[in-house]
Amino acid sequence: MNHRVELIPIFEDNYVFALINEQGHVVLVDPGESTPVEKFLEHNDYDICGILLTHHHNDHIGGVLELVKTFPAPIYAPLKNKTQIPFADHYVKDGDEFSISDMNFKVMELPGHTLGHVAFWNPDKKWLFSGDVLFGLGCGRLFEGTFEQMFESLQKIKALPNETLIYCTHEYTEMNLQFCKMLGNFDDSPITGDDENLELYENELVNKRSLDLPSVPLKLFVEKKVNPFLLASTVKQFSALRELRNKQ
């Protein structure tokens, strides 16, 4: 299946993901703003066949109602966010599987950033649309969930195939790199990173960003080597890291 993903930048550092098949049918993930997405669709003569929402924050859902006025399409949202996202057509929970056009998805509940947060896994391409759970060299802030929940959510991501590509919704990698480099300066750092792999990561990141290319998608097998939040082996380690990051 000749599917691809295109990134539509919105706001300062968000991405909307457009999964496109050979027929030009598009599944959108987290359209937090409508105008850039409408321009993308109209310029390419695409139609929306589905909209996937990972959680209820406005920078992920704010463009949906405006978009479906022009491009009617079914909306999939977390069942646990039914109150916050009352306009969805389908509410999904952990383990649910569904297809839109010829694109297949499995739902993973990943609480922590929010209590109802889900990710959408495409098993054919090994793509994970992870919302705000995992970022390049980082992870999402805990607005609603506990350290234990977020730690377990990251373990679920770590268990995916190594070749997984992770489509996270924010371009935070450069900022998170600075935190990773600072970790080595803390005497009581909960994690000691892999300096060699981090240097390779930095070189690739600098090259991409100097060309105005996104750092997304992330390669899971690389993040598992250098992302301190994936390297944390206990909830205690993870909690200490997250608290350090909150202060930066």
Instruction: Tell me if 60 is assigned to a ligand binding site.
Output: yes
Question: Does 59 appear as a known binding residue?
Answer: yes
Give the Cβ contact number of residue 13 at 10 Å.
13
94 is in an annotated binding site: no
Q: Is 124 annotated as a binding residue?
A: no
132 is in an annotated binding site: yes
3-state SS string over 154-212?
HHHHHCCCCCCEEEECECCHHHHHHHHHHHCCCCCCCCCCCHHHHHHHHHHHHHHHHCC
The response to whether 170 counts as a known ligand-binding position is yes
Confirm or deny that 25 is annotated as ligand binding: no
Residues flagged as binding site = 55, 57, 59-60, 113, 132, 170
Residues flagged as binding site for Zn(2+) = 55, 57, 59-60, 113, 132, 170
